Structure formats: C-alpha cells, structure tokens
C-alpha cells in the first residue's frame, strides 16, 4: 500500500450546479460533471481510459458505469460501478489509484450524480429513508434514517454530556461556510437559536441538524504522478487512504459513539506518514450534526468525548484549529444522496489549489476527507496534498 503514496494525483475536478435541477436527470448530471472535470484536466472525453461511477437512487440501472460510458460515446478499458453509500468516494479513489499504478489505465474518471430533490416524490423519498434499516430487526418498527442518527446523538449526549447547542454549532459553521460559496444550495447564515428553534425531526435532531436533499453531480480525473505534471492545473496527490467497516446495520453496532473512522483514519495516516496535526483543512461527512462530532474524535482531531467543546470553541470554523467543510457540506452546500460525498473531495482539491476565494484556508497544503455510508456503516478516509507533501 505504501507504494501508492504519491503515485497518483487528481488533475481535474468539477461540480455541477446544485439545488433543484428539474432540467437534468441523474445521467445528465453525470455527463455534465465528466465534461467539466475532463476540461479542467486539459483533456478530451476520448482520452478517458477508465470510468468509475455510483448507481443512481432515482433511476437505478444494472450496468451504471457502462451506461455513462455509452452516453459519453467512449469504450473505456475499465468500467466499474461501486456502491458503499457516502463512503463510495474513498473506495473509487482507491480503485482508480490501483488501476493507474498497475498500468491498467493511464487515467480514470470518477463521477457521481443524482437528482433526489426533483426526481423523487415526497412519498418515494420517505419510502427510501424507511428502507435502510435491517429488514427483520429494524424496518418493522418504522424508524427512518433520522431516527437512527438520533440514537447516535442521544448516546453521545448520555456518555459525554454533549449538548444540543454544541451539535447546533456544527450546522452554524457549515451554513456560514456555505454563505461564502456562490454555488451552495443553501447560503443563509444561521445562529444556534435558529437551529434549536427549527422543527424537531427526531429527538434531539432539529431540521437544521439534518442534511439537505438536492440534485447535483461531481467528477474527478486521476492520473499518474508523472503524467500529472503535464496537466494545466496544480496536481493534488493521493497521500493515503483507508477503510473501516464495523457493521452494516445500526442495531448490530458495537458502539454508538465510536465508529469505523478509527480504523480508516489509522490506515490513511499510516500510509501518508502524517498525523492529524499535519492536516490544514478537512471535509467530514455531515449527514447529521452528531456524525461530525464522532468523526472529529475518531480521527484524532480532539480527545474522545471533547468534540462538543471543540466545535463550541470555533475550532472547525474558518480560522480555527481545523476548518471543516469549507463548502458547507451536506448540511448546507448540497446532498444528492451518494454523490454528496464527492463534493467533499472536490472542495479539498480546490482548497489545495488555492481556488476558494473568500473561504480559502491560508497556506493549505494537506487536506483530509472522511466519508461514510449507511448508519455509521462504511467508512473511508483520504489524505491529499500538493507536490510539497510527497
């Protein structure tokens, strides 16, 4: 695995417009994202040798990557569809790096897109949220996704004295960062009182503790570190990655306050030869506010049980100890389902290229993305950096 450190780089990144896109199907969003990322990399669609996608929730097909390749008019050497929820993005980057390093492909495009906001009816969306639980031990009780994450929130509050106000600070930070992003789905600035006075969804989670429902797509282009030097934009190198899988269903979790981020983070830091203190900016999966608290602890940014105070002190804000989700994350930038985590990585690429304007983290050279799928189920961690880090 150490041989993959610095062997590949991201040379193209692109986000589609997000929010409500009634003009675009999930396939259109994927095609739009690929076109933009390939152009960003200074390449042509015909140059693409490998294609990795994640299936659409709204319009699933049996061979999704092949569908996107067909629509692009290409016949890639490698086609792969991966589905591990939000954590899919880490798995796809790892697969791309391996494919390039072994000589299977000179370059790989990773793309995810979906139209949850306009492609689902309200009933379909509710049915989708209610179908996540274990078919025998969870679904019969009717709990939707927010209720499962409410269990996680309650457990953290019980174990460590975490407060609703501290969880709200995660949403406040995300919304402020999104207010500086011209393409964010929701750009209004919130206060802690705004979060706590919003509608209760699943005690103790209020509306603003929960992620958005959006349309959108994003894509990355990866190539070898040698070939990356010939691309027009600053290459962003893959320094390390890791995965952690403790459970599929929340009823089978050994802990509600510690996650597979422990294992994925340890692997990624070991491969990158770095520590949490080396990270300048982080993208942490934020489907619900308590998830960010657990990730901060499990990845080593603060001691176990102290993440509530950590965020209350402003540590995850721009200018803080470790700025988190500078694009606004799933809470405020966008959340089109599985593709939502792609925007966490494209934001890091832009940060490390110094392209983020008002929300730019000064002198950012190392970025971490931690992404997860399911109910704290499938975890993946990436460490990225500029040439000075390899």
CATH code where residue 175 lies: 3.40.47.10
Domain final residue, candidates 172, 193, 228? 228
* Number of domains within the chain: 2
Same domain, yes or no: 115 and 169: no
In 3D space, the residue among 231, 222, 326, 238 whose CA is nearest the CA of residue 284 turns out to be 326
Last residue of a domain, one of 170, 202, 228: 228
Same domain, 77 and 192: no
Are residue 170 and residue 312 in the same domain, yes or no? yes
The rounded distance, in Å, linking the Cα atoms of 372 and 378 is: 5
42: pLDDT confidence band, cut at 50, 70 and 90?
very high
Distance CA 370, CA 344 (A): 9
User: What tokens appear for 383 in the block?
Assistant: 């460490």
| Whether residue 257 is found in the same domain as residue 316 | yes
pLDDT digits (tens, 9 = 90+) for 151-194: 999 999 999 999 999 999 999 999 999 999 999 999 999 999 99
Whether 55 shows a pLDDT value over 70: the answer reads yes
Report if pTM > 0.85: yes
Distance of CA 272 to the CA centre of its chain: 19
pLDDT greater at residue 123 or residue 299: 299
pLDDT score recorded for residue 268: 98
Q: Are residues 180 and 106 in the same domain?
A: no
**Are 323 and 280 in a shared domain?**
yes
Do 176 and 272 belong to one domain?
Answer: yes
Contact between residue 256 and residue 249 where contact means Cβ atoms under 8 Å apart: no
Q: What is the pLDDT of residue 341?
A: 96
What integer best gives the mean pLDDT of the chain?
Answer: 96
- Does residue 220 sit within a domain? yes
Using the predicted structure, report yes or no on whether residue 3 has a pLDDT greater than 90: no
165 and 34 within one domain: no
Any domain includes 127: no
Q: Alpha-carbon distance 168 to 159, whole Å?
A: 18
Tell me, yes or no, whether 126 lies in a domain. Answer: no
- Average pLDDT of span 210-223: 97
Q: Are residues 151 and 283 in the same domain?
A: yes
Q: Are residues 166 and 219 in the same domain?
A: no
Instruction: Kindly state whether residue 344 falls inside one of the protein's structural domains.
Output: yes
**Do 172 and 284 reside in the same domain of the chain?**
yes
260 and 306 in one domain?
A: yes
Q: How does residue 327 score in pLDDT terms, banded at 50, 70 and 90?
A: very high
> Does residue 131 belong to any structural domain of this protein?
no
Domain with 366 in it: 142-212+240-389
Residue finishing a domain among 228, 255, 283: 228
Under the banding of pLDDT at 50, 70 and 90, the label for residue 1 is low
Burial of 161 (0-12, 13-18, 19+ CB in 10 A): exposed
């Amino acid at each position: 695995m150490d041989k993959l450190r610095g062997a590949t780089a991201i040379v193209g990144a692109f986000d589609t417009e997000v929010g409500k896109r009634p003009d675009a199907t999930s396939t259109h969003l994927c095609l739009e994202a690929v076109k933009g990322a390939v152009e960003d990399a200074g390449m042509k669609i015909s140059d693409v040798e490998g294609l990795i996608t994640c299936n659409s929730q709204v319009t699933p097909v049996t061979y999704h990557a092949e569908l996107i390749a067909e629509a692009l008019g290409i016949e890639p050497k490698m086609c792969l569809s991966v589905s591990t929820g939000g954590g899919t993005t880490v798995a796809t980057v790892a697969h791309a790096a391996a494919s390039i390093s072994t000589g299977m492909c000179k370059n790989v495009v990773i793309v995810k897109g979906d139209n949850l906001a306009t492609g689902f009816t309200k009933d379909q969306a509710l049915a989708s949220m209610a179908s996540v639980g274990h078919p025998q031990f969870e679904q019969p009780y009717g709990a939707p996704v927010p209720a499962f994450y409410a269990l996680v929130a309650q457990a953290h509050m019980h174990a460590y004295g975490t407060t609703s106000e501290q969880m709200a600070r995660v949403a406040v930070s995300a919304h402020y960062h999104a207010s500086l992003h011209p393409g964010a789905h929701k750009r209004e600035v919130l206060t802690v009182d705004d979060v706590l006075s919003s509608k209760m969804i699943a005690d103790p989670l209020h509306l603003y503790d929960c992620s958005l429902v959006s349309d959108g797509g994003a894509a990355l282009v990866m190539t070898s570190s040698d070939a990356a030097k010939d691309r027009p934009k600053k290459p962003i190198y893959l320094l390390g990655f890791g995965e952690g899988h403790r459970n599929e269903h929340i009823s089978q979790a050994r802990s509600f306050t510690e996650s597979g981020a422990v294992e994925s983070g340890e692997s990624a830091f070991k491969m990158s030869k770095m520590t949490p203190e080396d990270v300048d900016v982080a993208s942490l999966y934020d489907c619900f506010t308590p998830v960010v608290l657990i990730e901060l602890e499990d990845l080593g940014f603060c001691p176990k049980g102290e993440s509530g105070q950590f965020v209350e002190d402003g540590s995850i804000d721009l200018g803080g100890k470790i700025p988190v989700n500078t694009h606004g994350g799933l809470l405020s930038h966008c959340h089109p389902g599985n593709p939502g985590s792609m925007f966490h990585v494209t934001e890091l690429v832009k940060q490390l290229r110094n392209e983020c304007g008002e929300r730019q983290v000064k002198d950012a050279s190392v970025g971490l993305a931690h992404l997860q799928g399911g109910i704290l189920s499938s975890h993946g961690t990436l460490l990225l950096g500029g040439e000075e880090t390899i």
